Amino acid sequence: MRALRLGLAGLAILGIGFAIGWIEKPQRLNTQLYATDRLPSVQAHLDDAPQGYIFLAGDSQAELQSPAQRVCGMEIVNGGISGASAAVYADLVAKLSVKTRARAVVVFIGTNDLLRKKEPLSDKTALRFDEAVERIVKRLQAGSDRVVVAAVPPISRSVEKRFEPAAVAAYSARIEALCRRLSCAYADPFADLRDGDTGFALPGVLRDDLHIADYRRVMRALEPALCAVSP
């Protein structure tokens, strides 16, 4: 009986250890698991896309956009993967194939790279961000007439302990510089949602700590950059 109790106790400890281990799994693994389910759907929509479509790439700032809206009068194919950092999305987008070239692509990336634990303002982390965004842009340029990369959106003051607000402007500037070098277009559709240069959002413009309340407004702000492309 004592042996049985010890055995059960051991299993309980293993179970607790497994649970803790699972909870502490990196966000990268969780995102990849989610992407495993989502990527086939994105690929199916890409395969079925008509001429002149607009592709939305990146993290949840892309995925939360409604595919029912039209941009430049064209259909949207939503390729956003919630939770994706730049490095994770660079790996994921490489797995997609493009049968019909997009009229334009807009990339929303950077929110998941702002976590303080990643030390986003360190040179090493910032350079890794640059390298990942470059991979994303080059991959998408192969299947599109134009790639637009959005600035990093502002965040809520309530998440300042977890996210680095100074990295919002810093990473947006890095994206802008990268686009000058790679011939992509940089746009800031969040300009009128920002509380100055703080990295924080104005009151009422977010639906939660990180996500915009009105994504159609964001796409309208991007139309000048996207619709200038000849079909």
| Residue 19, pLDDT score | 31
DSSP-based three-state secondary structure for 212: strand
- 168: in domain: yes
Domain-embedded: residue 15: no
Establish if 13 belongs to a structural domain.
no
> At 81, is the secondary structure helix, strand, or coil?
coil
C-alpha closest to that of 109 among 97, 131, 101: 131
Question: Going edge to edge, which strands form the sheet with 147-150?
Answer: 76-80, 54-58, 104-108, 147-150, 185-187
Dist CA 203 CA 229 (whole Å):
34
**How many residues in the chain?**
231
The confidence score (pLDDT) of residue 27 equals 64
Instruction: Evaluate whether residue 173 is within a structural domain.
Output: yes
User: Which of helix, strand or coil describes residue 83?
Assistant: coil
Residue 162 lies in a domain: yes
- CATH number of the domain residue 33 falls in: 3.40.50.1110
Alpha helices in the chain, H assignment, sequence order: 2-23, 27-47, 60-63, 86-93, 123-141, 166-182, 215-227
153 vs 196, 212, 222, CA distance in Å?
12, 8, 13
DSSP annotation of 75: -
Rounded CA separation 117/176 (Å):
24
**Residue 89, domain extent:** 27-227
Decide if 14 is inside a domain.
no
Q: In the chain, how many domains are there?
A: 1
pTM for this entry = 0.86
Name residue 124's amino acid.
K
How far, in Å, CA of 98 to CA of 70, rounded? 20
Q: What is the largest CA-CA distance in the chain?
A: 79
pLDDT in tens, the chain (231 residues): 544 444 434 434 333 333 333 333 456 668 888 988 899 999 999 999 999 999 999 999 999 999 899 999 999 999 999 999 999 999 999 999 999 999 999 999 999 999 999 999 999 999 999 999 999 999 999 999 899 999 999 999 999 999 999 999 999 999 999 999 999 999 999 999 999 999 999 999 999 999 999 999 999 999 999 987 544
